[in-house]
Amino acid sequence: MDTLRSALQPVTRNLPTPLFTLGNNLLGPACYKHLILDIDPINYPECFKLGVSKGLGIGIIAASSVVKIPQLLKLINSQSAASVSFLSYLLETASLVITLAYNARSGNPFSTYGESALIAAQNVAIGSLVLHYSGQSGEAAIFVAGLAAALYTFFATDSVDAHTMGLLQAGAGVLSVASKLPQIVTIYQQGGTGQLSAFAVFNYLVGSLSRIFTTLQEVNDPLILYGYIAAFALNAILAAQVIYYWNAPATQKKAVKVKGVTGATEGNTTATPKGKGPSTRRRG
């Protein structure tokens, strides 16, 4: 350790001012000194765990900026929303909007919740495409407008007080869990994952597990912690389904017509455009 320390300290003690400021703000002066300047994680394990938590948080936020891009591309390229549940995206987005507002108003570190904003924005695009490919473009406009109004209301302290936000956050945990169930059921009913992105599913699994750790380290709020634990459990089920149905083509067990378009799963707003059969899954 002494050899490594002597090799790294000339670098860590002469970092550019922006990096010094960033590290000092993220870790705090004491832990920045112990971890970066003195390079002594062994004698300060609490600082080491904080550093790991901050690193995971930043990594999650960075990954969340692209986590849903493969899903968007699959929808656009196939012109189909087969096996993608709009209800799942609606519930998840509502949960993310509440979580974003609750954390921001509670003053929690951005590194513990920043992905909520990025994923919510991507969900809006995906949800709108699912409705569009289901022949419901008008409903897509209502979906976007409703979320924008909700976001404005939750951030307005004169509209929603702190106590009510706490109740909403408890509900957001339930919504987060409930958001996975329609997708799990849709995959089971259709016997395949259709246009569902495996990349997004497995990133969600890793992200929710990492969020359990960062919440334990930096946020003393059981409402948030229990939500991430429940999300991890259901993300694990989705990941298991993706593995199980990896080479199985989607076969819809139940089909109904949605505004003249055949292929939607019962209880869901997904559909296969007319003239196209159920798609075999393309991973990405």
Instruction: Please check whether residue 221 lies inside any domain of the structure.
Output: yes
Residues 165 and 116 in one domain: yes
Please give the chain's pLDDT, 284 residues, in tens.
778 888 888 898 889 998 999 899 889 999 999 999 999 999 999 999 999 999 988 988 888 888 889 889 989 998 888 778 888 899 999 999 999 999 999 888 888 888 899 999 999 999 999 999 888 888 999 999 999 999 899 988 788 888 999 899 888 888 888 888 888 888 888 888 777 778 888 988 998 899 899 899 888 888 888 888 988 998 999 999 999 988 665 544 444 333 443 333 333 444 444 444 444 444 44
Q: Give the total number of structural domains in the chain.
A: 2
The whole domain housing 28 covers 2-43
Clarify whether residues 28 and 71 are in a common domain: no
- Residue carrying the six token digits 């995906």: 126
Same domain, 73 and 6: no
- pLDDT for 124 equals 94
Q: What angle do CA 68, 139, 142 make, to 5 degrees?
A: 85
Q: DSSP secondary structure string, 86-118?
A: HHHHHHHHHHHHHHHHHHHHHT--GGGTTHHHH
Within a domain: residue 211?
yes
- 126 and 34 co-located in one domain: no
Judgement on whether residues 26 and 128 belong to the same structural domain of the protein: no
Residue 261: predicted pLDDT: 39
Which amino acid makes up residue 30?
A
Q: Does this model's pTM top 0.85?
A: no
In a domain, 55, yes or no: no
CA angle centred on 54, ends 119 and 124, rounded to 5°: 5
pLDDT at 248: 63
**pLDDT at residue 249, as a whole number:** 57
Q: Which two tokens stand for residue 223?
A: 């409402």
Got the DSSP string for the chain? Answer: -HHHHHHHHHHHTT--HHHHHHHHHHH-HHHHIIIIIS--TTT-HHHHHHHHHHHHHHHHHHHHTTTTHHHHHHHHHHT--TT--HHHHHHHHHHHHHHHHHHHHHT--GGGTTHHHHHHHHHHHHHHHHHHHTT-HHHHHHHHHHHHHHHHHHH-TTTS-HHHHHHHHHHHHHHHHHHHHHHHHHHHHHTS-TT--HHHHHHHHHHHHHHHHHHHHH---HHHHHHHHHHHHHHHHHHHHHHHTTTPPP--S--EEETTEEEEPTTS---PPTT--PPPP---
**In terms of domains, do 139 and 13 share one?**
no
